[in-house]
Structure 1
């Protein structure tokens, strides 16, 4: 590396791809932890002779050759680094001082240092050896095959023929002579790569992808009990939610319910593209919902989310990451995370070619809200679409159901407080009992009205903010809703 490139690297500080080590006279143990972490993640650069605060100390000139030899010997030792790595430190000069630069590529196998597995997270090397879930995800990332291609022992009877027929009809509506039109159900699955042969077990059968797309709910739960998508509308009740749909079913019907949930809560203002009017809302929903379903890491137990808030809409899903940080339209490189699922989505018209979803989301978000969407890559992939106030505007006669529900919730919560506080209780105890986390909203909406109405009193009224403050029911006042009588 040139001196200018090194100076730029140092000025940028440590991050998920850059690590500084003081190491002026010898290679310290934590250098090998970082080598292991970089190999297991996305690769990176280690600078020896630089402190964490970016101060360039340099490596002692008389120690350079010895340190290089020690490093190369250690990483080629299978007892220390397994599998052995073949790296060569580079000698560079910055401000007249000698640095050793180690470029670590991303490895194809899981790397261990003295039997421990390290992963890279922001600026730190994390020992994940005893975290079985993180280790499993790491092996899944390094695996040459795709998780959804795993062959199962389930049969065609465990799939829903009506869903396969629906997929066949959807392709026919887009392409009159589509090959799937004349294929049997089994032939259709084979052509889509949903029936494969496991060379190790010598077993041929339908894959996890086939079950996710066309399986019965009971079949899906038996092989992927963690599969779930949580759709949440949270605009008024910020402690919990205003509306929610927990979706545990096949991907086709999950897509339908996510789209319906978004259409239910987002308005569809007039938008013109060229000389035609388009539904920018529906275009955005199509792209982000299909992306979340087609590119999700189904081996993870992380619950996928589709959330609508006052100023934004976002999705989150587990991800087999190929990098970290925000993706940019001009430079990102798309990767197929679940090729067989993506293929079916393209054939039936729920998605287009790889990478088009990001471009379309940019395009239609500009038309819908005037904002710029964010795509954040990591072990959890996050898409954020900014919303304009009009997106949540309600038109026509107002539905009083939601208001009535909120009032009922408030009354129920206050009754629960009065029943619970027959003995003095702290605010934390009351909030935990009622299932609330936001102390400010809880005080404003529930505690204060009860105190002002004379039903609840503080045990230390002269010091309202005392950390020992507790709340108790005022004697003589009603303590329940009258539905329990002795």
Structure 2
């Protein structure tokens, strides 16, 4: 074996054998760089970063690059990655050559169902690690994004481009300032309601007086980060304030696509049995979504230790507050609460910090809309960051005996499995009822 070139580390071999996904890409290469290499570099930079392996088949079978051409490939790659006419802004990436001695025992199946057998021998592989870029990267003027195991040209897809830029911003969309509105334009009854909820909760659990009790509405909004000054020096209420306490007309003006589609689909599976489209502020949206869930889900007898608890209500609280507090309000994706015979599915637009199922043991929570989350915590709609996922696991196991799923992506999805007892009905079925606005899209 060549002593000057390092052997392929076990960790990298595991990545190769694991298969392609949104952070792993294989490229066949012998003497020249693959034509699509920089599409992948661009896509990884714009998403969550990733690893590219040259000399590997799509199946994970190692084919190797030409050993005499390996250093030329590395030099050409580094040069092109630094060329602003090729990649903008230029990327400073390293490519490392490794040697792998295969025993020929591995095989993979391609997309056509053909089995590819790895041949025994010594192979040279080039590994490129691409970190996530702090800015949007273009390849020859085109913007690429990673979609599962593929590189997608999103240049002409305005929504995807907007999401790509949004992921790179350190600011929050809901902190957008509206200087032509002030605190008096908001619904004072909602602010008073939130104040009373916070005061009652503080007194009940901490035996203390809540600071909001001594604040007027404007002070409350300022201390909650709902009145800000933007980069141009304009001061006003934020989009978060409008979503929390605004009138329906204000919300429609500031965030026209804001709505939540609640659907109950158990008997009429081609359409729905009940439906409610919610277009109002987040506080009343929470209440209406909660009532919709209570109406269609049985409250089973559940013991937490020796205490009877409503696992149904605990689950609804967590999944509804998660949807409202953490959704991406710049996204036009219609948020949904869908109740079916065997599961509840919650979907909403999302500024993703990864792709795929979240593991409760390893996931790291991210604040998506801190100002909204803060108000939700104060009034008791939510707890500390990350607790919602843990509570959902706990009470779903009690309610249905199965684990929920939390799936991260541009659309965030929660799936709560249901047991037969959750949906059992006594008496005649009623005809399908639709509440609120009805659209032709589900």
TM exceeding 0.5: yes
**2:126 corresponding residue in structure 1:** 100
Q: Which of 15, 28, 45 pairs up with 2:34?
A: 28
Q: Which of 251, 254, 259 pairs up with 1:228?
A: 259
Matched, 1:179 2:216: no
Matched, 1:287 2:318: yes
**1:49 corresponding residue in structure 2:** 55
Q: 1 or 2, which has the higher helix percentage?
A: 1
Offset, 1:4: 2.0
Offset, 1:287: 0.3
List gaps (5 residues or longer) in structure 2.
1-6, 102-121, 204-208, 435-439
Q: Supply the distance in 1 between the matched residues of 2:349 and 2:225 (Cα, whole angstroms).
A: 23
Offset, 1:436: 12
List gaps (5 residues or longer) in structure 1.
410-434, 438-486
Matched, 1:158 2:185: yes
Offset, 1:37: 0.1
Q: Supply the distance in 1 between the matched residues of 2:412 and 2:132 (Cα, whole angstroms).
A: 20
Q: Supply the distance in 2 between the matched residues of 1:2 and 1:162 (Cα, whole angstroms).
A: 65
**2:194 corresponding residue in structure 1:** 167
3-state DSSP of counterpart to 1:233: strand
TM-score computed with the length of structure 1 as normaliser:
0.81
> CA, structure 1 residues 38+436, in 2 after alignment: closer, same or farther (shift >3 Å)?
closer
**1:142 corresponding residue in structure 2:** 168
> CA, structure 1 residues 309+114, in 2 after alignment: closer, same or farther (shift >3 Å)?
same
**2:329 corresponding residue in structure 1:** 298
Offset, 1:399: 5.2
Offset, 1:28: 2.5
3-state DSSP of counterpart to 2:143: strand
Offset, 1:2: 4.0
Q: Deviations along 1:263-311, whole A, 9 cap, x unmatched?
A: 0011112111112111110000000000000000000000000011001
Q: Which of 305, 309, 313 pairs up with 1:278?
A: 309
Matched, 1:259 2:290: yes
**2:345 corresponding residue in structure 1:** 314
Q: How does 1:430-469 map to 2 (within 5 A)?
A: none
Matched, 1:75 2:81: yes
Larger relative contact order (Cα-Cα within 8 Å, sequence gap ≥ 6): 2
Q: How does 1:466-477 map to 2 (within 5 A)?
A: none
**2:159 corresponding residue in structure 1:** 133
Offset, 1:55: 2.6
Q: Is the Cα contact below 8 Å between 1:3 and 1:93 reproduced in 2? A: no
Q: Which of 228, 253, 264 pairs up with 1:196?
A: 228
Structure with the greater alpha carbon radius of gyration:
1
Offset, 1:174: 1.1
Moved over 4 A (4+): none
Q: Supply the distance in 1 between the matched residues of 2:59 and 2:192 (Cα, whole angstroms).
A: 62
3-state DSSP of counterpart to 1:175: helix
> CA, structure 1 residues 268+107, in 2 after alignment: closer, same or farther (shift >3 Å)?
same
TM-score computed with the length of structure 2 as normaliser:
0.89
**1:62 corresponding residue in structure 2:** 68
**2:142 corresponding residue in structure 1:** 116
Offset, 1:73: 1.1
